[in-house]
Each structure stands twice: as structure tokens, then as C-alpha cells.
Structure 1
Amino acid sequence: MTGRIHLSTILLAAVTALVAILLYSPLFVPILSSFFDLHHGQVDWSRPTLSAYTALAENGDVLAALRATLIVGVCTVILSVVSGTLLALYYHGRHAGRGALQFIIFLPFLMPPVISGLALLIFFREINFDRSLVTVIIGHTVFVLAIVYRTILTRLQSMSRTLVEASYDLGANSWQTFWRVILPNLSSAMAGGAVLAFALSFDETMITILVTGTESTLPVRLWAMMRLGFSPDINALVALILLFAVLLCTLTARLLIPRQMARYHA
């Protein structure tokens, strides 16, 4: 019996490794290409160089799109974490309309992005609100709010009520209880939700295309460049984004796994 379990574990690990190689090995092609020159459509593997990274630093259009993406991402994180925390506290307080509240929060996330983007586009047109980075921030916040809200609510529901009751028994008011008891217990979930929100905002394309104005985010810029072909500095950009994504995934895993579980497995 033990031998069969050991064999199934080996087979499962082999299949997982094979799928990972098939999915992610193509990503290493542009990463390796970013360290070599490109001549007449062919990669010159004879001499490593950082010219692609130098060209990327001088590409004003891509850097402007990256700057717009970072602005949208940071603003989306702030709005979604603040709103998600307040909505989670409202739901956890067992107030009226909790079912309708969750329906409104999760609907934009569960609907196809093109539907959510069209709904936002029609809404902005009806109220005569000009499209800009502000409309992109609103669209991204509406989209990522569900995952931030759920992350914080899950942590809030797992928190013992005795902590809050003890705070009140010791003479703390509602604000002191929130600031000194509830918020510290929610901090890791809020940070994890913020990382997930930034990752989703950084990658969002369809909603952005529909609600953006004259300024383009990086995914929209790259999508537009696909018709003309990528320049060598885009390979450098892919390498940097992949490194950034790995760091985000690592940070998210550390923030969302409870410390007690980490100590248990250690």
C-alpha cells in the first residue's frame, strides 16, 4: 500500500513538472533573448549585451505606459482595500441587506470583463464623465473589489469574537477596539488583498480598453504593438515583469498563509 502511494506521488509530481515546463518554458525565450543582440530578425548568441535594457530605459512611450499602469495600480489598491475593509466590517456586523451587498460586489468580478467594461462605458457616457485614468481607476476598483473584500472578510470571520469582547470589557470604545484589536488582525489579509488587487489591475486589458482616455496602460500599449511586432527592448520588459510577478507571488503567499500554519509546517 505504501509503495502504491509513493508511486502515485512520483507520477503526480512528474505530471505537474511536465505541465509547468510546457506552460512556462516559452517565457524563458524572450528572457534569454533580452541579453543578446538581434540582427535581421536573428538572435546573435555569440555576445551577451544589455543593449535591450538600455533601449527600454530610453523608450518614452513604454515608460509612460508603465507609469500610468503604476498610478492606476496604486490608486486601485488604496480604494479597493479601504472599500473592501469597510464593506467586510458592514457584512460581518450582520446589518440589513447583506445578500444584496455581496451580489453587487461580486457581479462585476464574475461577469466577463467585456460586459463589465461596456456597462462602465455606458455609465460614464450617460453622466457625461470624460474618459481618463480616473475612469480606468474606477473600472479596476470595481473589478478587483470582490477579491479584496472576500480576503478581508474571511480573515474577519476567522477572528475570535472574544478579542473584541475583551477589549470592550477593558474599557475601550469602538474606535479603540477597531484600531488596536481588529485592524492588527486584519493587516496581513489587507496586505495580501492589496498585492492581489495590484496584480489584477496591472494585467487588466479589456476593461481598460473600453474606459481609457488618451493615456494608455502597459497592457494596452503592448496589445497595440502586437500588430507591428515587438522591438528587442520589449524582451527586457518581459523579463522585468516576470521577475516582478514572481516577487508578487512570493509576497502574497507569505502574507496570506497564517503565521501559526507556517510555524507548524516548519
Structure 2
Amino acid sequence: MTLLERITVTLLWIVGGITFAVLYAPAVIVILLSFIGIKDRKLDWSDYSLQWYGKVASNSQLIEALTNSLMVGVCAVVIASAISLGLAYYMKTGARRGQSYVEFVIFLPFVLPAIITGISLLIAFRQIGIDRSLITVTAGHVVLILAVIYRMISIRLDALEDSQIEASRDLGANGWETFVYVVFPQLRSALVTSSLLAFALSFDETLVTFFLVGGETTLPMRLWAMMRTGFTPEINALVSVVLCVTFLFATLGAMSLRKSIERKS
């Protein structure tokens, strides 16, 4: 390795280290502040405790907001996954009629600014007489994350050989049996990965939720409201728990995808 190459590699390592520090240092600080107290605007290392984690459990407003976010995210992912599976499988095996129009409708809300999507959905729900609630929030999140799940499933279906589907039908299986026993097992990794990504997008969605939420609130909306008065250490504890759970799900998704790739190879 020449001197120039060594300098280049060293600079790349430095840039990479700075990038990772900028990205992950705030998360590390939040986790640290959930354990260490602050006195006179300085970290008090002698004040180490888990008290804020216990107070999170007793904060009914935060728990309710977190529960609402989880419920909306799970429902939105389940509904969007079912719609994406049906549409993608039809485009794979059907006549592909209107495919470009359907994909345009699916991808447009994801490409548009979230504020435009939120206002449009708000106007649409008002016109048909539906009051704002967690149901309208869930519908808005489905519209947003549908593109993510549909795209990843479509890519995986495009890689699936048509001969497998034709062989299943030639052996007497109907369309449903072919989907359950031949197609779906090969879509699990794409479905798990896309669902995790879609849930993450739904969990922290703020702008669309702002226009569609009613009397209830989600965690991002609750945190947004607290920005005016300042965050309490309880928020650091709650964010730390969310970060750890998110990291766990991301690890499980990566392991599932790796096992799927190893199984195919």
C-alpha cells in the first residue's frame, strides 16, 4: 500500500468515525441522562439510579400515548401488508391491467410532502363525514407505508420464477394453495423487513398524525406538545426503552434476512 493510499484510508476512517459519532452520540447521551441526574446544568455522576424508569410506568399520559402509537403502528402495518400482498401477487400472476395506475396511486402519497398528504386526507375525511380519531390516523399511516411494503414485496416477487407457480398449478393446486405453500414462504424475509421499516416510519410519523388525530394522542404528538414546557428525565427513560426495543427488532430482522439468504445459497 502506497503512502497516498494509506492517507486516503485513514481519512475515510476519520470521516466514518465522525459520521457515526454525529449520528449516534445523541442517542447515547439520552440513554446516559436516563440514569445520571443533572445538578446545576452538569452531570451528577453520584446521582445514579433507575428512578425515572419507574416513574415512566406511573405516568398515565405517556403510557397512553405510547400504547396508541404501538396500536396504530401495528394495525397500519397489518392492513398495509395485506393490501400489498394482494396487489403484488395479482400483478405477478394476473393480467397486470392498470399496473402503472395502481403503482402511481400507491407511490404518490409517499413521494409528496407529508403536509400535503395530511391536509388532503383531512379534507377527504371531512367531506365523507368521518371525525378525526385513531382510526383516521391509522388510515393515514396505511397510505404512507403502503409504498414501502408494496415495493419490497414486488421486488421479491419479480425474482420468483414463474415456473414455480405454473408447476404448482399443473400439479392441481388452486390459486390460494399456490400462494400459501409456494409463494408466501419465499416472501417472509421481504415481508418481515418491510414491516419493520414501515412500523418505524409509522411510529414516529408526526405531520400526517397532526392533521388526523382527534381527542387521543400518539407519542410523537405528546413529545411535540412537551417541547413548549421542556422535557422531564422521564422522557429520557422512555426514549431509551424505545431505542433498545427498536435495536432488538432491527437485529431480529437482520438475522431473519441473513438466514433466508443462507438458506437459498
Give the letter for the 2:115 counterpart.
V
- Structure 2 counterpart of 1:253, which letter? A
Rounded Cα–Cα distance in structure 2 between residues aligned with 1:174 and 1:6? 58
Number of aligned positions between the proteins: 264
Secondary structure of the 2:45 match is: strand
In the alignment, is residue 223 of structure 1 matched against residue 224 of structure 2?
Answer: yes
Query: Which secondary structure state, in structure 2, belongs to the residue aligned with residue 223 of structure 1?
Result: helix
The alignment status of 1:179 with 2:180, answered yes or no, reads yes
Alpha-carbon deviation of 1:251? 2.9
**1:2-54 deviations in whole A, cap 9, x for unaligned?**
77666544432331121111222122222111112344655421131001111
SS in 2 for 1:19: helix
* 2:114 corresponds to: 113
Q: Is 2:182 aligned against 1:188?
A: no
Match of 2:77 in 1: 77
Taking the aligned partners of 2:73 and 2:103, their CA distance within structure 1 comes to: 24
SS at match of 1:131: coil
Residue 181 of structure 1: CA displacement?
0.3
After superposition, residues 42-57 of structure 1 pair within 5 angstroms as: 42-57=42-57
Partners of 1:85 and 1:76 in 2: CA distance: 14
Q: Which amino acid aligns with 1:210?
A: F
Distance 1:18 1:40 in 2: 29
Distance 1:108 1:2 in 2: 50
Equivalent in the alignment of 2:61: 61
Distance change >3 Å, CA 99–CA 261, structure 1 → 2: same
Question: What's the CA shift string for 1:200-237, capped at 9, x where partnerless?
Answer: 11010000000000000000100110110001111101
Q: 1:145-160 counterparts in 2 under 5 A?
A: 145-160=146-161
CA distance in 2, matches of 1:32, 1:263: 42
User: Does the Cα contact within 8 Å between 1:118 and 1:210 map onto a contact in 2?
Assistant: yes
1:213 counterpart letter in structure 2: G
Q: Quote the residue 1:170 is aligned against.
A: 171
Matched, 1:198 2:187: no
Structure 2 segments unaligned to the other structure (5+ residues): none
**Residue equivalent to 1:134:** 135
43-52 vs 206-215, which moves further? 43-52
Partner of 1:32: 32
CA contact 1:38–1:232 (8 Å) conserved in 2 = no
SS of the residue aligned with 2:154? Answer: helix
In 1: Cα distance, 2:163 partner to 2:111 partner: 35
Counterpart AA for 1:207:
V
Question: 3-state SS of the aligned residue for 2:109?
Answer: helix
| More moved, 30-39 vs 211-220 | 30-39
Tell which deviates more after alignment, 76-85 or 91-100: 91-100
Describe the SS at the equivalent of 1:15. Answer: helix
Q: In the TM superposition, what is the alpha-carbon distance from 1:245 to its structure 2 partner?
A: 2.2
* Cα distance in 1 between the residues matched to 2:76 and 2:26: 31
CA distance in 1, matches of 2:195, 2:179: 20
Choose 28-37 or 5-14, whichever is displaced more.
5-14
Change (3 A) 1:6 1:37: closer
Q: Deviations over 1:67-112 (max 9, x none)?
A: 1001101100110100011111122234211110010000000000
Query: Match of 2:97, SS?
Result: coil
In the aligned structure 1, how far is the partner of 2:261 from the partner of 2:74? 30
Return closer, same or farther for 1:18/1:213 CA change in 2, 3 Å cut-off. Answer: same
Q: d(CA) in 2 for partners of 1:213 and 1:258?
A: 42
SS at 1:228 equivalent: coil
Contact 1:108 1:116 in 2 (8 A): yes
- Residue 247 of structure 1 corresponds to 248
Separation in structure 1 between the aligned mates of residue 127 and residue 43 of structure 2, nearest angstrom = 51
1:21 matched to 2:4? The reply is: no
Contact 1:80 1:197 (8 Å CA) reproduced: no
Instruction: Normalising by structure 2, report the TM-score.
Output: 0.92
SS in 2 for 1:46: strand
Code of the aligned partner of 1:121: L
